[in-house]
Amino acid sequence: MDMLTPVLDRLVEPSDIRALEKRDLNRLADEVRAEIISAASETGGHFGAGLGVVELTVALHHVFNTPEDRLIWDVSHQAYPHKLLTGRRKALRSIRKKGGLYGFTKRSESDYDPFGTAHSSTSISAGLGMAVARDLKGARNHVIAVIGDGAITGGMAYEALNHAGAEKSRLIVIVNDNGMSIGPAVGALSTHLTELRDTPKRTGSNGPSSFFETLGFRHIGPVDGHDLDRLVSTLSALRDESDCGPVVIHVVTEKGHGHPFSKPDKEKYHAVGPFNPETLEFKATPATKPTYTKVFAEALSDEASKDPKIVAITAAMGSGTGLDHFGAAFPARCFDVGIAEQHAVTFAAGLATEGMKPFCAIYSTFLQRAYDQVIHDVALQNLPVRFAIDRAGLVGQDGATHAGSFDLTYLGTVPNMIVMAPSDAHELRRMVATASAYDDGPIAFRYPRGDIHGEDTKNDVNILEIGKGRIIEEGEEIALVGLGSRVSACIGAASLLREHGLHVTIADARFAKPIDTDLIERLVKSHRVVMLVEEGSIGGFSAQVLTHLAQARLLDRAEIDPMILPDRFIAHGSPAEQLADAGLDAQSIAARVIERHRTAARKVA
């Protein structure tokens, strides 16, 4: 049964929170926490992080004049209480659903979201930009950036702190220290925060001089992030100072605070599915197949058991990439470098120079952050770094910020780079083995989020010939050339088309670079229409094929129809909804084939 929320019900406008008496604030925090638990039990979502900052969120909106005072949430996994208190309560149960609230902060969603976030470590840079703009305009509003102890280990945060400390603009940085990002925070700065958190408690002193003070910030804390009175008094004092320069407030919180659900395993309950709020049990979901991530992790561990040179690298995403499985088996050969994709790639390059076989497992959307390192430190030197690119293509409820839409394009343009995409679990195992055996330069394989296609078998895990695809089914007139995740959609489309009397050829490209030119030329010469189907943006696999056909003077031999992601960002929704929106599901492919077949038939007639 849902808790009564009399204080929350009184908030007609977000600004009403500033009129609340102090005695009402703790009640409001309890009501906000109960409302989030109730909503998350229905929708799932980023659960633990938001519960940990309820008191901080209430205090910030009580003390500061938002949205005139700018409040930026780094990553914004923790922004559910913020959304709830800024006019989005009624829509909270639509979060991460098609047409509903976005799972992160978004400028177009609310004036209270001055900067959209979802990737890590951006808030201080954005906040400093806003603070300097304010100073140039002669305004007096405050700028507050809230960043976690995991996100602050990202290199971009260091760069921003370095600049802000020298710039001296009035900027408040709140470090939300809960000892976690998605997994446990790692690195020397995390250790330093632990020392700052613990030393005053041990000795009663002000603690050691902090890293932040060395950079020119005033350092306040640690402050108990669940003590509303202390938070309000600390923030009010800063608000009322006439000229305070840059300040860091070290706030200690507990991820998942106030609910026993998240305490036993904070990483597991970082993001959850629907659950029973009374029993804390997850609602039953149909049994699923293993995920591509799980198959990759098992395949890499199998290879590593045979080859001691194999090492694995993750950038603070051990569970997300499956490398926690590898790390349990080979702890000395698994490295979590923190939120540091640039460092991860060049670290891998260094390992490769000494004869190791590094597998750098990074989400497609996060590998974008290390593009210069991929080019300059890996490809230019032709170093055999292996890139395991998870979450390639559309990613469902996490939306456009996390979609792996661009890797086929940004890797396909890089000399020396090999790019593969598995169509099913067995193909993924073969690509892991192929990458392990390939020592002639960098090689990447990209695979989607979610359950595998096809049966996962460990039999006949043979190394692939570089740049060679395969024919799955021979047909007539129309050929569907799928890459990676879209091969299964092509197979589904072919099944639908048989009901219309059409028997199409199905090919699995396997390689986005180098493309199988022999296969492509044969299909173009023997079919009236060749459709190229990929879950990637303009400039990817299809562009490679079209370039080759133009250079080979074969563009007029058949109608070439690229089916790619549309040139826009795809809104969040279920994976099926996103693929339908993009026109890349089996039904859309079949409809396009029928249209093409009719057009081709009219031309012949």
Q: Enumerate helices (H) and strands (E) in the chain, giving the number of each.
A: 23, 19
For residues 311 and 336, the answer to whether their CB atoms sit within 8 Å is no
Nearest to 377 by CA among 352, 356, 354: 352
Query: How many residues make up the chain in this entry?
Result: 605
CA distance 28 to 7: 6
Report DSSP letters for 163-210, one per residue: HHHHH---EEEEEEE-SBSSSB--SHHHHHHHHHHHHHHHHSS--SPP
| Structure-block tokens of residue 93 | 């149960």
3-state secondary structure string across 381-405: CCCCCEEEEECCECCHHHCHHHCEC
Among this protein's residues, is 255 annotated catalytic? yes
Report DSSP letters for 523-540, one per residue: HHHH-SEEEEE-SS-TTS
Nearest to 388 by CA among 312, 444, 311: 444
* Catalytic residue from among 267, 303, 341, 535: 341
| Structure-block tokens of residue 568 | 């826009």
* Catalytic residue from among 96, 255, 391, 430: 255
Among this protein's residues, is 357 annotated catalytic? no
For residues 163 and 155, the answer to whether their CB atoms sit within 8 Å is no
* Catalytic residue from among 83, 96, 333, 369: 369
- Phi, psi of 532, rounded to the nearest 5 degrees: -105, 115
- Phi, psi of 193, rounded to the nearest 5 degrees: -65, -40
CA 218 to chain centre: 33
Bridge partners for 312 per DSSP: 334, 359
Catalytic positions are: 255, 341, 369
